[in-house]
Amino acid sequence: MSELDHVGIAVPNLTEALALWRPITGGTESAPEDVPSNRVRVVFFTVGGTHIELLEPTEPGSPIARFLESRGAGVHHLAFHVPSVDRALQEVAERGGKLVDRVARPGARGRRVGFAHPTAFGGILVEFVEGP
């Protein structure tokens, strides 16, 4: 069984989004973190056994900026905790699923991460997150 590590939500403005979500999530938020490889600034809330990640684009034309332009603010991806990102990606490919990343790369919070293509999960962008 995989655990849901977090739900990633694309937001145009982190400060405004934090004000909306704090009444639900309480005072559980992480310090904002820049993730240059994805051109985003992120904050994580702890919500029970999982997390909500708010993602604000740091550059026009970046993946989150383009998502916001085409679909508006909303859930961008679901991230599952796996023992090995490389193996999880390989298993998706072996089932015939398309991948965004063929192998793991550095993500937020110092974790190794990798994305399948949305078509591999019926329209949902799935991220795999490794350890601890």
Member of 15, 34, 66, 71 binding a copy of itself (CB under 8 A): 71
The DSSP letter of residue 31 is P
Q: Which is nearer to a copy of itself, 74 or 106 (CB)?
A: 74
Nearest to 101 by CA among 84, 91, 113: 113
Q: Residue 27, Cα to own-chain centre: how many angstroms?
A: 21
Member of 126, 127, 129, 130 binding a copy of itself (CB under 8 A): 126
Residues that bind a copy of itself (CB under 8 A): 1-5, 7, 9, 11, 16-17, 20-21, 23-28, 46-50, 52, 71-75, 78, 80-81, 91-92, 95, 120-124, 126
